[in-house]
């Protein structure tokens, strides 16, 4: 609770509700997570009872979940969210039993700053103005105190972080729902270094873009893969198990009920070709799986490389060690050809880029 320009404002935090599912449960054994609409309503009501004239939720739910929650919980003026990583140029106005809640997202990696101004008169929000401001880091002076602190923290690792591992001839990025060139590089490295038939990489969509001709430093690499469970794995899976894994992940993304969506993006796949129908029912979204031009057999076993396992006790080299081995063998990284699935029944979908 804080006062801003004479107006009492309540700011409520909402953590990612699927933390113990999308991430290792053993790392948060004593914590409870969830959407918890009823608890959110109690907190909002309590804030209003304590005199809050404006209530804002800072959320990691993801856009679809925020929109549904805004329709069910009353008394929230705005939900400023993350997790979806999309920069929304205008808020979505969601109606509920007591009024309207604004829902926004402002991208990721400090690409944008979402600025929301409220006109509060008579103890109520009368109007608002929202701006999605692009952040041009090279045009903004760094905060001197923070810059000095960062330099101090990085000092023991500076030389190692700035070491050049390779040079990229093409653009390396993370963006698409099904793949990106950084992701493609990771699955290519996993297959070659681990000797796998195919590779799976988490549907992450964060990290810094590398421009053509730019050197890839260890700093850039860690920007893509530095997580607290970085183990790479090599597993024998049957064709039917691979399909089950892909179907499960697809349902986390495309379930028609936002509360059954865990967000993120589709697992990135190396080597394996398949068709995906996001509109189909659970268990029927994945078809046409092929490896090296041949149909994947349900009972045949394949070597599948991956990383970031949520299960405890996984064994294998860290993903950054796998990548460094690949860079040693390939000091010049050629442009990546993206391995993306064939999408069907998506005609007219506004989210499809031509």
If you average pLDDT over residues 232-261, what whole number do you get?
95
Q: What is the pLDDT of residue 299?
A: 98
CATH code of 129's domain: 3.60.21.10
pLDDT band at 86 (very low <50, low <70, confident <90, very high): confident
Task: Of 320, 314, 342, 302, give the one whose Cα is nearest residue 186.
Answer: 320
Same domain assignment for residues 77 and 214: no
> How many residues in the chain?
354
If you average pLDDT over residues 8-33, what whole number do you get?
93
The answer to whether residue 142 is domain-embedded is no
Is 130's pLDDT higher than 70?
yes
- Residue with the bigger pLDDT between 276 and 110: it is 276
Same domain assignment for residues 56 and 163: no
The answer to whether residue 353 is domain-embedded is no
Q: How far apart are CA 146 and CA 275, in angstroms?
A: 48
The answer to whether residue 348 is domain-embedded is no
Q: How far apart are CA 187 and CA 170, in angstroms?
A: 16
Q: Which residues contact 124 (CB under 8 A, 6 or more apart)?
A: 53
Same domain assignment for residues 210 and 333: yes
Same domain assignment for residues 164 and 119: no
Same domain assignment for residues 120 and 168: no
Is 40's pLDDT higher than 80?
yes
The single residue listed with the structure tokens 């909002």 is 44
Same domain assignment for residues 171 and 28: no
Same domain assignment for residues 315 and 267: yes
The answer to whether residue 152 is domain-embedded is no
The single residue listed with the structure tokens 């993206």 is 338
What's the structural domain count of the chain? 2
Same domain assignment for residues 330 and 195: yes
What are the pLDDT digits (tens) for 132-186? 999 998 899 999 999 999 999 999 999 999 999 999 999 999 988 899 999 999 9
The answer to whether residue 153 is domain-embedded is no
What are the pLDDT digits (tens) for 258-316? 999 886 689 999 999 999 999 999 999 999 999 999 999 999 999 999 999 999 999 99
Same domain assignment for residues 110 and 165: no
**Full domain range(s) for residue 25:** 2-137
Is 100's pLDDT higher than 70?
yes
Same domain assignment for residues 189 and 52: no
Task: Of 224, 208, 176, give the one whose Cα is nearest residue 322.
Answer: 224
Same domain assignment for residues 97 and 203: no
Q: 33-37, 83-87, 245-249: which range is least confident on average? A: 83-87
Same domain assignment for residues 210 and 298: yes
Region label for 84, one of left (φ > 0), alpha (ψ between -120 and 50) or beta (otherwise)? alpha
Is 27's pLDDT higher than 70?
yes
The answer to whether residue 351 is domain-embedded is no
């Amino acid at each position: 609770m804080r006062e801003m320009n004479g107006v009492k404002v309540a700011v409520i935090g909402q953590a990612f509700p699927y933390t113990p599912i999308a991430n290792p449960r053993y790392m948060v054994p004593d914590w409870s997570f969830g959407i918890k609409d009823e608890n959110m309503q109690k907190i909002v009501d309590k804030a209003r009872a304590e005199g809050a004239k404006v209530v804002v939720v800072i959320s990691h739910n993801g856009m679809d979940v925020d929109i549904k929650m805004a329709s069910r919980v009353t008394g929230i003026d705005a939900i400023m969210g993350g997790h979806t990583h999309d920069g929304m140029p205008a808020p979505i106005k969601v109606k509920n039993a007591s009024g309207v809640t604004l829902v926004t997202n402002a991208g990721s990696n400090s690409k944008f700053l979402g600025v929301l101004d409220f006109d509060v008169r008579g103890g109520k929000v009368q109007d608002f103005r929202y701006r999605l401001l692009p952040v041009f880091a090279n045009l903004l002076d760094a905060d001197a105190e923070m810059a000095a602190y960062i330099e101090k923290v990085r000092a023991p690792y500076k030389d190692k972080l700035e070491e050049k591992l390779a040079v990229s001839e093409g653009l390396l990025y993370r963006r698409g729902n099904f793949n990106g060139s950084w992701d493609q590089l990771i699955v290519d490295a996993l297959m070659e270094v681990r000797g796998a038939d195919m590779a799976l990489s988490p549907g992450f969509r964060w990290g810094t873009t590398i421009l053509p001709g730019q050197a890839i430093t260890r700093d850039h690499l860690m920007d893509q893969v530095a997580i607290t469970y970085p183990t790479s794995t090599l597993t024998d899976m049957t064709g039917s198990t691979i399909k089950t894994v892909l179907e499960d992940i697809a349902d986390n993304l495309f379930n028609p009920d936002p509360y059954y969506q865990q967000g993120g993006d589709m697992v990135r796949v190396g080597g394996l070709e398949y068709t995906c129908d996001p509109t189909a029912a659970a268990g029927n979204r994945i078809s046409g799986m092929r490896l090296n031009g041949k149909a994947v057999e349900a009972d045949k076993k394949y070597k599948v490389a991956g990383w970031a396992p949520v299960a405890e006790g996984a064994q294998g080299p860290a993903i950054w060690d796998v990548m460094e081995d690949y860079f040693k063998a390939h000091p010049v990284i050629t442009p990546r050809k993206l391995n993306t699935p064939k999408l069907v029944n998506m005609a007219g979908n506004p989210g499809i880029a031509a």
